[in-house]
Structure 1
Amino acid sequence: MRLALGALLWISLSVTAVAAPLRFVVPDSWAMPMVQLERGQPIQGILHDVMVSLATQVGVPAEFHVLPRARVQSAMEHGEVDVRCYAAQSWLPNQSGDYIWSIPLWTQPDVLISRHEPLTPVVPASLPRQTIGTVLGYSYPTLQPLFDSGHLLREDARNQDQVLEKLLAGRYRYAVSNQWTLDWFNQRLLPERQLQGVAVLQEQSVGCYVRNDPDVPVQRILRTLLRMKMSGEIDDIIRLYVGKP
């Protein structure tokens, strides 16, 4: 009887260990087509679909922790979450803790945008002193020297959608967005109202990083991401939302 109970306990513990969810951190600043949040949880979008597929192929449930952008790295450092996607090492120059990075999975340009197409090329350093629409906590390496000098001023919004809505409403003349979000936002606007990309600020390759912990299947996660990228699965997910990788 004792042996039978021991066997049942071992099976129960083994099932619990196998079924432990993969905990993804989701900044609440993301917008479609990256992620759509509903009642505090992601329900669709490029990153939602990639993370769900990753967890499924690793063989565990996906668990999403939606946090303010400023709390994301702290959650990783304190072991509250396991995986962060859509990040670049250059965004985290003072990163502490033990993490392993995936291969680059996406390449996205940050674009300076306006309500009107300019008659001449826009050079940020040549703009008169003014406010630029930005997302709270986001890094803009090309513009940072101009922010530091006071030549340009940040006006932060909580997420990328709010930045674009404020630009459309005329709160400022220029804002920054990634290209996918700009294209998605413009889909609902008449051609004459669509926002215009006026200068590419920078283009960075981004991927995922994983907390290097014995309780996290790190190598299985990284191998799965590599396979998803090499097989074209990630590009196929992108095409579902934006029509092009």
Structure 2
Amino acid sequence: MRRLLALLLLWTSCSLADPPVLRFSVAESWSMPLVRVEGEQPVEGLLFDLMQGIAREVGARPEYHVLARLRLQQAMDEGDIDVRCYVSTQWFNDRPGHFVWSIPLFHQRDVLVGQPGDNAPTRPEQLPRQAIGTVLGYTYTTLEPLFEQGQLRREDSRSQALALQKLQIGRYRHAVSNELSLQWFNQRLPAEQRLQVLAVLEEQALGCMVRNDPAIPTQGILRALVRMQQSGEIARIMQRYGARVAIDEVAAQQPGK
């Protein structure tokens, strides 16, 4: 009887124990449909739903660390985050040895954006000398030579949404945006006020990075992402936030396409 009570107590203690914590990074520069932050915590968005789904799959409690984009690498190096999502291998000169890559989950296009009515396809090198709307901490590989030559000058904003708002009010004539954020920005505007895609600058496969540490279920997280991809859950999350491919016709007009 005494042994039975001890086993029951042990089972009850394990049942009441808090689930393990999984620390996700959230970039301050993200805006809808990727994420919306209130009171320093994400509350909705495509990536919020993805991270919630990952934590649910592995039985963990998600903890979100909202960081400036330039702080993300430092947080990874210091072991302050366990999972970083919406990231490309192209963004790293050296492969982070203490993190493991997931399968590709998203396909992102960075596009050159113009003001309403400016819808003629344009190559960046054809632009006159000017400032162009960019996001603080982002690297734009195809535009770097033009920045170095002084033909284009970065005008950084803290978020993608703010960069598009500045373009809308005429702060500058052109900006760079990822396709998802541009679609979200335009969807509530009348057709004649929508910002226009002028060119596809680059395309990237994005996934997640998971800290390779015995303290967290690294392989379990990677397997969970495979399941979520194969089951169509990730596609449903994207559809929930209106993700769609709407610029194939622009890409087709670019040289070499």
TM-score of the two chains, using structure 1 as the length reference: 0.92
User: How far apart, in 1, do the equivalents of 2:224 and 2:131 lie?
Assistant: 43
User: How far apart, in 2, do the equivalents of 1:26 and 1:87 lie?
Assistant: 11
Residue 38 of structure 1: aligned partner: 38
Change in Cα spacing, 1:211 to 1:138, as seen in structure 2 (3 Å) is same
AA of the residue aligned to 2:182: L
Conserved 8 A contact 1:109-1:178: yes
SS at the partner of 2:241?
helix
Q: Is residue 2:116 matched to residue 1:110?
A: no
SS at the partner of 2:103?
coil
Equivalent runs, 1:203-218 vs 2, <5 Å: 203-218=203-218
Residue 156 of structure 1: aligned partner: 156
Residue 167 of structure 1: aligned partner: 167
SS at the partner of 2:142?
coil
TM-score of the two chains, using structure 2 as the length reference: 0.88
Residue 89 of structure 1: aligned partner: 89
User: How far apart, in 2, do the equivalents of 1:20 and 1:119 lie?
Assistant: 50
SS at the partner of 2:225?
helix
User: How far apart, in 1, do the equivalents of 2:194 and 2:133 lie?
Assistant: 16
Q: Identity of aligned pairs, percent?
A: 51
Cα deviation for residue 244 of structure 1 reads 3.5
Cα deviation for residue 20 of structure 1 reads 1.7
Conserved 8 A contact 2:57-2:224: yes
AA of the residue aligned to 2:56: T
Residue 143 of structure 2: aligned partner: 143
Residue 222 of structure 1: aligned partner: 222
Cα deviation for residue 189 of structure 1 reads 1.5
Conserved 8 A contact 1:77-1:97: no
AA of the residue aligned to 2:145: P
Cα deviation for residue 196 of structure 1 reads 0.6
What is the RMSD of the two structures over their aligned residues, measured on CA atoms? Answer: 2.3
Residue 52 of structure 1: aligned partner: 52
Change in Cα spacing, 1:80 to 1:7, as seen in structure 2 (3 Å) is farther
Change in Cα spacing, 1:243 to 1:87, as seen in structure 2 (3 Å) is closer
User: How far apart, in 1, do the equivalents of 2:231 and 2:102 lie?
Assistant: 15
AA of the residue aligned to 1:148: E
Conserved 8 A contact 1:106-1:205: yes
Change in Cα spacing, 1:165 to 1:93, as seen in structure 2 (3 Å) is same
Cα deviation for residue 96 of structure 1 reads 4.2
Cα deviation for residue 133 of structure 1 reads 0.3
AA of the residue aligned to 1:72: L
User: How far apart, in 1, do the equivalents of 2:93 and 2:8 lie?
Assistant: 48
Listed as ranges, the gaps of 5+ residues in structure 1 are none
Larger mean Cα displacement after TM superposition, 214-223 or 86-95: 86-95
Conserved 8 A contact 1:117-1:198: no
How many correspondences in the alignment?
Answer: 244
Residue 254 of structure 2: aligned partner: none
Larger mean Cα displacement after TM superposition, 56-65 or 119-128: 119-128
User: How far apart, in 2, do the equivalents of 1:77 and 1:13 lie?
Assistant: 32
Equivalent runs, 1:224-239 vs 2, <5 Å: 224-239=224-239
User: How far apart, in 1, do the equivalents of 2:109 and 2:119 lie?
Assistant: 22
Listed as ranges, the gaps of 5+ residues in structure 2 are 246-257
Conserved 8 A contact 2:115-2:168: yes
Cα deviation for residue 94 of structure 1 reads 3.3
Residue 199 of structure 2: aligned partner: 199
User: How far apart, in 1, do the equivalents of 2:212 and 2:16 lie?
Assistant: 22
Q: Is residue 2:14 matched to residue 1:20?
A: no
Cα deviation for residue 118 of structure 1 reads 3.6
Equivalent runs, 1:69-88 vs 2, <5 Å: 69-88=69-88
SS at the partner of 2:203?
strand
AA of the residue aligned to 1:109: R
User: How far apart, in 2, do the equivalents of 1:192 and 1:101 lie?
Assistant: 42
